[in-house]
Amino acid sequence: MSNRLYVGNLPFHATEHLLTQRFSECGEVLSVNVMIDRMSGQSRGFGFVEMATAEGAQKALAEL
C-alpha cells in the first residue's frame, strides 16, 4: 500500500493546515497538498496527504 492518499469531497474552505491536523491523529504526516483553483483561490475539492508509514495511511483510511 502507498503512503500517499487521495482525499476527495473537501469543502471549498479546506486548507493544508486543516488536513494536517486531522490526519496527524492517525500518524505522522509528511506532506499535504490541497489543489487550489487559480481563478478563485479556493480549494478544488481534493488533495493528497502523504503519511510517514503505511500503517498510518491504513489507519487514516479506516478512521477518516
Q: Which domains are present in the chain?
A: 4-51 (3.30.70.330)
Structure confidence at residue 48 (pLDDT): 98
Give the chain's mean pLDDT.
Answer: 94
For the chain, give the percent of residues with pLDDT over 70.
98
Q: What is the pTM of this model?
A: 0.89
Q: In whole angstroms, give the CA distance from residue 39 to residue 30.
A: 28
Structure confidence at residue 2 (pLDDT): 84
Burial class (CB in 10 A: 0-12, 13-18, 19+), 32: buried
Q: Does residue 1 carry a pLDDT above 70?
A: no
